[in-house]
């Protein structure tokens, strides 16, 4: 049996792990949402060409490129189309979970190119009172999985593994840890991104004097 089956809810593109009701004030609770969707392959191929033509996306030369470069600032028509696709996917997600998004959203994203024997170690993007959603878009076919840490179940039973394929999109809470295992064949290309609410941007700007210099939200643009 699936190790998460007793807390597993799936409806269409929406996947959710939620704890049972607390029986005492000390019991742990959790609630993880994922949304799996797709972007058409013709647009994916055009996005790959843009990424391969830009030297600033070489992560081997710039360790902070994922913060200081925002792919979504580009004026390329294909990038604008991609933003529209993400917005459409988000609207479907919010409708499914009955979430009323009544403020502007901002996006900051970066291409990721992993070559043979490279990998992404376990990490998360944001974990604070304003953290929202993150996502990844897979551009190549490498037979890999992205492994998500479902705390506390993963402590004993392992990751929630989602098989990647070209055009696949996954949305998840920014605090969820995840990783990609070592690449065994050709280069793996993907796009990672963070989404920020107007509320979080306003707070950041108000407290800019105490914020760290290298913060992804600085480079976010309106979705």
Shortest CA distance to 66 belongs to which of 220, 216, 223?
A: 216
Domain span at 60: 5-222
pLDDT digits 0-9 by tens, 143-153: 888 999 887 77
Number of domains in the chain: 1
Beta bridge partners of 38: 168
CATH number for position 45: 2.60.120.620
The pLDDT assigned to 144 comes to 87
95-110 tens-digit pLDDT: 999 999 999 999 999 9
pLDDT-based confidence at 219, cuts 50/70/90?
confident
Q: By three-state DSSP, how is residue 91 classified?
A: helix
Average pLDDT over residues 21-45: 91
Hey, CA dihedral for 177, 183, 184, 190, is it positive or negative?
A: positive
Q: Which residue matches tokens 């076919």?
A: 141
Half-sphere exposure of 216 (CA within 13 A, CB side): 22
* φ, ψ at 210 (rounded to 5°): -115, 5
Please state the φ and ψ torsions of residue 217, each to the nearest 5 degrees. Answer: -65, -25
- CA dihedral (204, 198, 34, 143) in degrees, to 10, reads -70
Beta partners for residue 169, in sequence order = 37, 137
pLDDT in tens, 48-93: 998 888 665 555 555 666 667 799 998 999 999 999 999 999 999 9
| CA–CA gap between residue 128 and residue 205 (Å, rounded) | 16
């Amino acid at each position: 049996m699936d190790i998460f089956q007793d807390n597993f809810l799936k409806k269409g593109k929406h996947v959710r792990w939620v704890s049972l009701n607390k029986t005492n004030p000390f019991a742990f609770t959790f609630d993880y949402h994922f949304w799996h969707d797709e972007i058409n392959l013709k647009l994916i191929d055009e996005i790959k060409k843009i990424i391969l033509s830009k030297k600033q996306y070489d992560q081997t030369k710039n360790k902070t490129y994922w913060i200081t470069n925002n792919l979504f600032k580009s004026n390329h028509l294909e990038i604008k189309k991609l933003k529209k696709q993400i917005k459409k996917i988000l609207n479907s997600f919010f409708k499914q979970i009955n979430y009323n998004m009544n403020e502007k959203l901002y996006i900051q994203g970066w291409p990721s190119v992993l070559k043979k024997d490279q990998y992404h170690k376990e990490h998360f993007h944001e974990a604070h009172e304003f953290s929202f959603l993150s996502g990844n878009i897979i551009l190549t076919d490498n037979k890999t999985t992205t492994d998500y840490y479902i705390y506390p179940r993963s402590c004993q039973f392992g990751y929630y593994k989602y098989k990647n394929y070209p055009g696949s999109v996954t949305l998840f809470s920014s605090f969820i840890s995840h990783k990609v295992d070592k690449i065994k064949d050709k280069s793996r290309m993907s796009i990672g991104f963070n989404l920020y609410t107007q509320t979080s941007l306003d707070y950041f700007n108000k407290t800019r004097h105490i914020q760290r210099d290298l913060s992804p939200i600085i480079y976010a643009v309106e979705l």
